[in-house]
A and B are shown apart, each in its own frame.
Chain A
Amino acid sequence: MTALGLHDVHKSFGITPIIRGVSLEVGKGERHAIIGPNGAGKSTLFHLISGRFPLTEGSIRLNGEDITGLKPYQINRRGLSRSFQVTNIFPKMTVFENVRCGVLWHLGYRYSFWHNTRKLKDANDRAMAILQQIGLADRAQLPASFLTYAEQRALEIGITIAGGAEVVMLDEPTAGMSRSETAHFVSLIRKVTEGRTLVMVEHDMGVVFDLADRISVLVYGQIIASDTPANIRNSKAVQEAYLGQALESHGEAEH
């Protein structure tokens, strides 16, 4: 069963083609990593899937339904949630409220102006549980802008998973983190995406090989390989195009 299916997706900004015919299938419950050099178009691909940019060509399916051309909120309501490479939270609201914003729609409160959020036990409990999961429970009443960078990244993931979406997409969740923070984050991601489909972009090969069931390599807007971690590691084409340098630098960092 495919959770997310891309069929011959193209995207150009003006006359510059950035995504040049990407087709991809992500199975239900699969943890899929997308890797590739800087500027390959990974974030752009995320934007296309989540509805932030319109496609130039091609189609995208979510659980078998066509979601091409839908608005971000429509796609989100159908069970796809994403995080951003550059932290994208509600800075003036409290950490607790940030997460609760991610919860409200999916518990059916929608645009209600007749419920009192303080009395919404289900929403508040769920938000609190998420905060516990991401380790920010003791920061709950702080404005989000007061958090440290790593905490904001955690919050970013918290907002993303709060709605209980089946397909979770994370754009470089561990970028800019120290080694120990990264290790903590890997177990966090593993924990919170239990039983869900995960698509993530990541530069840290340790994280990628640790977490992913399958890996796709995106180079200049095209997928040059999509396979299991072991096969990707051994693929000549991938070695040449990208992984060679990435693995080397990863190895160096470990010594």
Chain B
Amino acid sequence: MSDATMTAARGNPALDLLRRYGIWVIAAAVMIVLPKIFTSGAALTTMCLMGIMIVFSLAYNMLLGQTGMLSFGHAVYYGLGGFLAVHAMNTIAAGKLAIPLPVVPLAGGAMGLIFGFIFGAVSTRRAGTVFAMISLGLGELIASLSLILRGFFGGEEGITANRTKMLTLWGVRFGPQIEVYYLIAAWCFACMIAMYAFTCTPLGRMCNAVRDNPERAEFVGYSTQMVRFITFCISGFFAGVAGGLAAINFELMNAVNISGAQSGVVLLMAYIGGIGHFVGPILGAVLVVLLQVFLSDLTGAWMLYFGLIFITMVMFAPGGMAGLIMLHLPLWRRGTLLQIVPSYAVMLVPVLMGLAGLVTLIETSHHQLVKAATDGPAMKLFGIAYNSNSLLPWIVALALMGGGLYLGKLWGPRMADAYSDAAHGQDSNKREAGK
């Protein structure tokens, strides 16, 4: 997905085509096949949400990852797009407008674009921290306005719509979730391609230049403000499309969708996935939605885990998941990926120990503090039943954490050595040592 792969694949035109478009064919195939594998209703809803969030977080990363603009208020465009889409759906249902449902996200996109244009003109005049603060201010402004302007935002309850009351196109009514899934998947796929294509355009390349060195970009003829502004508008458009998809999926939009919390979630998704690579936000959206769905089923303290994962990422893996994967790309190319598996496997022991300790600690405290009053002190974790009142689980948890930390520190340097051996080869290391 970079110029390097482009040059590497020169020569055989068929191979070239496969390399360049193969990944998209695979992506499309996966999206088509997934609902055939995971057929349950819950899985389908989860996948719909993933599709929406992939579009939203990719749109967000146009700003943060590509252009270096940290926004704390991108839910504004997502939310406004969603609200307009809901209103559009209601207008269509009332027979005043004759557009089919699959086109409705475009209305959301238009709304995102318009407000991206208005607010972008204001905020992109500045970069860095000031931009971040303006985005926060605008975000809070719209979020608090949304509670006041009840006509458009519907107050606390929000605005509902019914997607089945639309024009039918080729007999599809979008009643069953599976039909909505394919609608979302199609939009998601199209948006992914469009946003990837954007990274290859002159403007897309200059976004990276502006992120890396805004001053120099001005001396090769580009107004950094204009680059930021146009990108902001386009990003607003895609965020609006995501909002429109959400409106169709949930048939409901409310103040939460436009709040600072929603802006925070998209930031988390993009960052956890990795803002330095195009695939990062996709991975992040998938992971975070999965966490939201499964963790919230498993534990009442899931938001806490979520925050801890984010902090850990920021502290130790600022490249996100995509960054971690890319770290291993050279190894794969050299064919030494298998070589580090044993070393990683050893590391798994302290990691699992530490994690088990942490989870025990959090879950036991959670039970003791939140549930014990109603359900009594007896609880079950990892299939072991115990009493959250007793001292033992606490001691075990702390011991596991301490042990994990100690062993991890012990093995950490060895693992780093193993990695650099695999990445640069043992001989080169020895040569350097010999010098």
Q: Which residues from chain A sit less than 8 Å from chain B, CB to CB?
A: 50, 52, 71-73, 76-77, 81-82, 84, 88-94, 96-97, 100-102, 104-106, 109-118, 120, 141, 159, 162-163
Contact = CB atoms under 8 A, between A and B. Distances in A.
Given A72-B219, A77-B221, A111-B227, A91 B205 contact: no
Given A76-B219, A81-B219, A105-B222, A88 B213 contact: yes
A91 B212 contact: yes
Contact of A94 (B3, B200, B215, B220): B3
The 8 nearest A-B residue pairs measured at CB: A105-B221, A109-B202, A72-B218, A90-B212, A113-B203, A113-B201, A76-B221, A102-B220
B234 interface: yes
B39 interface: no
A104 B206 contact: yes
29 contacts: A50-B219, A72-B219, A73-B219, A73-B220, A76-B221, A77-B221, A88-B215, A88-B219, A89-B216, A90-B208, A90-B209, A91-B213, A92-B208, A93-B208, A93-B209, A93-B212, A100-B205, A104-B206, A105-B222, A111-B202, A111-B230, A113-B230, A113-B234, A114-B201, A117-B201, A117-B204, A118-B3, A141-B7, A159-B220
B223 interface: yes
Contact of A90 (B4, B216, B227): B216
Contact of B203 (A77, A84, A112, A118): A112
B6 interface: yes
B318 to A, nearest CB: 14
B30 interface: no
B430 to A, nearest CB: 23
Interface in B1-41: 3-4, 6-7
Nearest to A99: B220
A141 B221 contact: no
Q: How large is the interface on B (under 10, 10 to 19, 20 to 34, 35 or more residues)?
A: 20 to 34
Given A89-B213, A159-B220, 11 more contacts: A76-B219, A81-B219, A93-B209, A97-B3, A101-B220, A112-B203, A115-B201, A117-B201, A117-B205, A141-B3, A141-B4
B197 interface: yes
A130 B219 CA distance: 18
A105 B3 contact: no
Contact of A110 (B202, B213, B218, B219): B202
A118 B200 contact: yes
Contacts of B3: 94, 96-97, 118, 141
A161 to B, nearest CB: 11
Contacts of B287: none
A115 B218 CA distance: 21
A112 B4 CA distance: 23
A80 to B, nearest CB: 9
B326 interface: no
A77 B200 CA distance: 23
Given A91-B213, A111-B230, A104 B205 contact: yes
Nearest to A156: B216
A109 B206 CA distance: 11
A200 to B, nearest CB: 16
Contacts of A115: 201-202
Given A91-B213, A112-B201, A116-B200, A105 B220 contact: yes
A192 to B, nearest CB: 16
Given A73-B221, A163-B221, A101 B209 contact: yes
Contacts of A84: 216
Contacts of A101: 205-206, 209, 217, 220
Contacts of A162: 220
A209 B3 CA distance: 42
Contacts of B221: 73, 76-77, 104-106, 163
Contacts of A52: 215
Contacts of B209: 90, 93, 101
Contacts of A71: 218, 223
B152 interface: no
A136 to B, nearest CB: 15
Contacts of A118: 3, 6, 200
B411 interface: no
B202 A112 contact: yes
Contacts of A91: 212-213
Nearest to B224: A73
Indicate the member of B205, B215, B220 with the most A CB atoms within 10 Å: B220
A73 B222 contact: yes
A106 B198 CA distance: 20
A115 B138 CA distance: 33
A76 to B, nearest CB: 4
B352 interface: no
Indicate the member of A52, A105, A159, A163 with the most B CB atoms within 10 Å: A105
A111 B226 contact: yes
